Amino acid sequence: PRGDMRALDGTNLQVKSRSGETVAIKRADNYTVNAVVKIDLGKVVPGTYVGIASMSQADGTQKALEVLLFPESRRGAGEGHYPWDLQAGSMMTNATVAGAAQSTGSRRLTLAYPQGTQTIVVPDDVPVVTTRNGERRALVAGPPVVGEVDSGPERTRAAAARRAGDEGPRRPQCR
């Protein structure tokens, strides 16, 4: 789930989702924390692996809402181009950067994945982030989080990883 962490009690988290629902999450014993950090778009070069939330444009391109430069260890995660729940009509493309070109006020990226390619325009004001290993003590009530969870009985979920979004711009993914 995405949302704001409301409470942390021992191994239990309470996250208020974007829909307003409070979700109970039980942290797994092996949970990790990844800090989200702002980076320069110049680090997104051919050969890097990215996840870009975007909206379709009239000319057939996508306009980026957020760019995530994946660590190399996450190459291949969620690869492809598919509908996303960030906002109505949004898409997610997780792919390798095949090409990049600068234009006035934006950068044009060509992303390649096994089923095809996408051209995504990244305006200069779009958040560009990556993750780094965080500390468990950084997981506190307040900051926005995006969680990777396995569903369990009675709306309880076991979290293997949490992403704290308090080290940079508020990520659209956390809205």
pLDDT digits (tens, 9 = 90+) for 81-103: 999 988 899 999 999 999 999 98
Vertex 144 angle, CA 50 and 25, to 5°: 100
Residue 149: what pLDDT? Answer: 59
Residue 40: what pLDDT? Answer: 94
Contacts 24+ apart (CB under 8 A), 54-62: 54/90, 54/91, 54/92, 54/93, 54/120, 55/87, 55/89, 55/90, 55/91, 56/89, 56/91, 57/121, 60/119, 61/108, 61/119, 61/120, 61/121, 62/91, 62/93, 62/118, 62/119, 62/120, 62/121
**pLDDT tens readout for residues 154-166:** 444 444 444 555 4
**pLDDT tens readout for residues 120-146:** 999 999 999 998 887 777 777 776 766
DSSP 8-state secondary structure symbol assigned to residue 153: G
Residue 104: what pLDDT? Answer: 87
pLDDT of 71 over the 80 cut: yes
